[in-house]
Amino acid sequence: MRPAELTITRTTTPKEKPNWDQLQFGRVFSDHMFVMDYEEGRGWYDARIVPFGNFEMSPASLVFHYGQTVFEGLKAYKGEDGSIALFRPEQNMKRMNDSNERLSMPNFDSEFVIDAMKQLVALDADWIPPRDGMALYLRPVMFATDAFLGVAPSKTYRFIVMTSPVGAYYEGGMSPVKIAVENEYVRAVKGGTGAAKTAGNYAGAMKAQEVADQEGYDQVLWLDGREQKYIEEVGAMNVFFKVNGEIITPALNGSILPGVTRQSVIQLLKHWDMPITERRISIEELHEAYVRGELEEAFGTGTAAVISPIGELYWKDEHMYINDGEIGPVAQKLYDAITGIQEGKIEDPFGWRNIIK
């Protein structure tokens, strides 16, 4: 169900823009945000674009205690011709409603929210960084607001979309990252919430991430939660490997996040007639391929990370150095195609750019 209308209140105190040349990921926010509220029996109401700012919540709000919340990440780009577009927002909205379903949270009308996001980006268009490889990141987030300590789905929710001008997700930009395979902790299990974009998946991953960081690794590679044998994802990215000419990505199995960039990469590879297989792949199989000299490339995919080459994988005292720590040709080709389409520099054969203006 959609609210009756969307109201817009402009800020009277626009903020200074950041130094575009020193932009990091997710540290500054634009002037406005979208907000709407939900109440059982009433549906979504009071949809509004208002100045970005803090708001009050009860300390008893259900989200603080039981984590009933979902989020998304998507980007807006300025094209060379001055046009502004969102990249595949319908995919993010669909996934957010799938996450809502898993977390016993209410659905929303995707078209209404996409339209609201377009109005928000149009209003804050001067927050889209005027640099190649940068974008305005949109972060929709929805959370339970009932002031109630019982464990039950909330009857009230708030939905927000904030926007943040962003540079590369990793400090090194599009340069190969070092990933440690996680052997102790697990991220998700079959039947759990791994396929939903919900805070608990990320909170539970931080311990392993912290240890990896102390050991000089950028992220961890998660193995399946049951046998700790099959490769799942990196946490902020899905993952692809090129083994002896074949590009392989773990098949979606209910505990892996169905990434929008993952899906776009698969579609592009098929479009180019390159061999792409979605299947189960174990860390042993990958290691054996490495030993045979057949692990040609590895890279992660994600909205924030775009295409992120993996230069080193560390697993049980084995350092697997991939493509001499250089960006591989498939990762480069995909990066150029995806950012080229996003920034309107090359043809968009799939209609992925959702034009705002």
Residues that bind ligand COI (CB under 6 A): 73, 236, 302-304
Name the residue with tokens 């792949």.
281
Q: Cβ closer to ligand COI: 3 or 73? A: 73
If the CB atoms of residues 91 and 323 are measured against ligand COI, the closer one turns out to be 91
Residue 73 CB, nearest approach to ligand COI (Å):
2
Token reading at 225: 């939660």
DSSP character at residue 337: H
Using CB atoms, what's the residue nearest to ligand COI? 73
Least distance to ligand COI from the beta carbon of 52, Å?
A: 19
DSSP SS3 for 254: coil
Least Å distance, CB 308 to ligand COI, is 10
Of 301 and 323, which CB lies nearer to ligand COI in the complex structure?
301
- Shortest reach from residue 303's CB to ligand COI, in Å: 3
Q: Where are the beta strands (DSSP E) in the chain?
A: 6-8, 32-39, 43-51, 69-71, 74-78, 84-87, 135-144, 156-166, 177-181, 219-221, 238-243, 246-250, 276-279, 295-302, 306-315, 318-321, 353-355
User: Whose Cβ is closer to ligand COI: residue 264's or residue 323's?
Assistant: 264
Buried b (16+ CB within 10 A) or exposed e, 247-274: bbbbebeebbbbbbbbbbbbebbeeeee
Which residue, 176 or 302, has its beta carbon nearer to ligand COI?
302
- Nearer Cβ to ligand COI, position 86 or 236? 236
- Nearest distance from residue 7's CB to ligand COI, in Å? 28
- Distance between CA atoms of residues 157 and 93, nearest Å: 17
Q: Cβ of 214: how many Cβ atoms within 10 Å?
A: 8
Residue 235 Cβ, how far from ligand COI at the closest point, in Å?
Answer: 8
